[in-house]
Structure 1
């Protein structure tokens, strides 16, 4: 039977409650930001069950009012998200400048939608239901579309017994760290207002000043004359998307096993978990033994540059670091610790010298990332981070039931990491072609560590 679709009830635009003086100036983008112009928006969200007071007919309308008001207050601190992208071009001298203009924008978008389904309809199926993609705005949009589309949309979808709050945020302005920083701040303001407290200041003010290499910036001209030269619209292949849960006990066992096999104590839980996914997905793909393969990890650069950036730096400061290529047969013949040691080495080598060298190379030959060229079909990509405080976001409905994502950045071998609902646990969103997913689902090594996320 065909599933019911999301119904869009209303939309409006939200401006910062008070426009900061700085918002009248152009907000320039740094190299890490400009490189993101042709990839998708970040789309993540939280599913809540309705509290008992939702039986009150005015509950949901009141919730919408409070969400809009707290969003306007959050945008005071994160005002670039209420702007739009602008391109300034000049022939002589050559100039192709993309920046954020906050003076001629209607603001961030706010959508109210509904779905005649229950929380269990979202969580119980084996695979993540396709309807989840409708919980987010900017479906298939790339960041360059921020010239005409909102840089931030909050969509609130009412289910029969739940509420989904999904944010779509332009990836040319934010990475995952900044994305969840904004989400956390919005929640902090909402909860303060809920308790009849007006925050005089937020706990983690964002650092909006963009970081530029010494002697460069704040203006970077791209080597293009037309967006057709660098905007590419990636379409995901046929994929299955499943959520898997790793308890704190399971992660501890993986970490102990990897370190024991290597005679060390330096391998982290996440490196051991990434090694497990690298091995088991490689096995599921049935590559020939001599096929070269790699594993990529989304690395936060903030603490790795010297001097370090503030953890509250608002912008892109990440790099998809790649392990040294190995043969598929070599990866599978050796144990978990061998694979984890390769990833540990990759992380250790990602330092200030490496980062600055990468930026210098970009400055000499600026490019815009494109998904199909950035990630090869023989690699896996461990995206996002379990360190992000997703479940700390509460909007008067208690702790969220789960996290889900939209269409963005889904390709074969993409694994997205989230903090689990229980402290110390990790949830993984795994995307694979149907045949490979079927093999992974029966992989003994994988199933010894993972459990399936369901709905109780």
Structure 2
């Protein structure tokens, strides 16, 4: 059985950075060898344990059956996102005492958060029908050790993480790689990385950051909570979907193959690119001026069109080839009536548009932005429900390899998430980083810029030759500016 949540806390020791090793890491990044041979830099696990909810509700004792969409997401890798913080530098507390206090408060906060988000303390399990023709997947909170919690250290500094041109490979070890849901805290000499891994069949990006922000809210309120109060009242508690016993979905059953197919790991380069609020406003204004059909194109639609055209140009595809721009939309506000944003689970759907490479690059930038805008407008609750019924009734686990294509640009995450609202006694985070899961050529993730104001950071993953071409494209690089994160 798999755990839905993993928290990893890593500390990085900056005072013992080996210059020769760093030089080798830089050269390796230049060659874009995304391999696990960077063991000398990997964060080393100091301790690990499981955290259970502080109190157990009657509801959590019942099996939580997955919906059709939840079943589909079983094919996809875990969500892995984390925040990098600077340690307090006032010297009022010894480093060892600081970490011991931080770790204990995080564990206590997690135990309280799991009362509200009890699914994240469970394990995924299966139930086979009597005739062995199908099986269903459910979350079992009764037979589970709880959510994983890991403390680790690394020989790197905050500067090593945010100062590199490309995201260092060591960041991959800031997350758990064992298909469980855990929190992992990495300790640095001058910083701390708090990383979370969540099973994608349990929640989407909205639910992931809802939990992250709730954990921060509980942590920040610990000093004012009476120890006799068993349940902390969240400002925005999650609403968990209720599944009746007659609505259990099942998947066709088949024996496990003798050998699992192995997918080739792509040799990628990963880079964070910052677009200031001024740059984003300029792109939005240009998109609306050039579209000719609408003046309602959003900032994110404009930036997505910009990166779609730029990556397609960098790939040097044939003009008669088709290219697709794809992103995940939150279905909650699109349903009739709309679902509250604190509905916890998987409420997402794919939005995409396709164009001939020649048309995409020969037309003005506003043409691409307009295409994206129109597919978003047409993505209504009625269309989502119709597509879900057609595609997922009965539900089926999509093979993950069908999700990737060398002509696709996929925009993930969202700059609307409150990433920098998460604080754990160390002030505002320095940067957001993600793990190795769900990374492929053409995958782009959007985050809010640290300074706010509508600024956006893009995490771009490309094959080395495409990254080099993108960086040499002055039209693309001109609105990119240095980022503090």
TM-score interval for Structure 1 and Structure 2 normalised by the shorter chain: over 0.9
| 1:209-358 to 2 correspondences below 5 Å | 209-210=241-242, 218-226=247-255, 228=257, 234-263=263-292, 264-323=294-353, 325-358=354-387
The residue number in structure 2 matching 1:87 is: 126
Q: Distance in 1 between matches of 2:291 and 2:259?
A: 44
| Aligned match for 1:385, one of 398, 409, 414 | 414
| 1:394-409 to 2 correspondences below 5 Å | 394-409=423-438
Point out where structure 1 has 5 or more consecutive residues left out of the alignment. Answer: 142-149
| 1:2-401 to 2 correspondences below 5 Å | 2=21, 3-53=40-90, 55-56=93-94, 57-92=96-131, 94-138=133-177, 141=179, 150=180, 152-196=181-225, 200-210=232-242, 218-226=247-255, 228=257, 234-263=263-292, 264-323=294-353, 325-401=354-430
TM normalised by structure 1 equals 0.92
Q: Distance in 2 between matches of 1:32 and 1:170?
A: 13
1:353 Cα shift? 1.8
Point out where structure 2 has 5 or more consecutive residues left out of the alignment. Answer: 1-19, 22-39
| SS of alignment partner, residue 126 of structure 2 | strand
Shift of the 405–210 alpha-carbon distance from structure 1 to 2, 3 Å rule, reads farther
| Aligned match for 1:438, one of 468, 474, 479 | 468
Q: Distance in 2 between matches of 1:244 and 1:332?
A: 22
| SS of alignment partner, residue 421 of structure 2 | coil
The residue number in structure 2 matching 1:146 is: none
| SS of alignment partner, residue 35 of structure 1 | helix
Judge conservation of contact 2:65–2:243 (CA < 8 Å) in 1. Answer: no
Shift of the 417–396 alpha-carbon distance from structure 1 to 2, 3 Å rule, reads same
| SS of alignment partner, residue 186 of structure 2 | strand
1:310 Cα shift? 1.4
Q: Distance in 2 between matches of 1:200 and 1:365?
A: 39
Q: Distance in 1 between matches of 2:262 and 2:146?
A: 25
Which shows bigger deviation, 196-205 or 312-321?
Answer: 196-205
TM normalised by structure 2 equals 0.87
1:232 Cα shift? 6.1
- Matched pairs, number: 441
Q: Distance in 2 between matches of 1:96 and 1:200?
A: 37
Q: Distance in 2 between matches of 1:229 and 1:367?
A: 21
Cα deviation 1:23-60 (Å, max 9, x = unaligned): 11001111111101121100000000001256524111
The residue number in structure 1 matching 2:10 is: none
Q: Distance in 2 between matches of 1:268 and 1:218?
A: 38
Shift of the 262–449 alpha-carbon distance from structure 1 to 2, 3 Å rule, reads same
Shift of the 342–286 alpha-carbon distance from structure 1 to 2, 3 Å rule, reads same
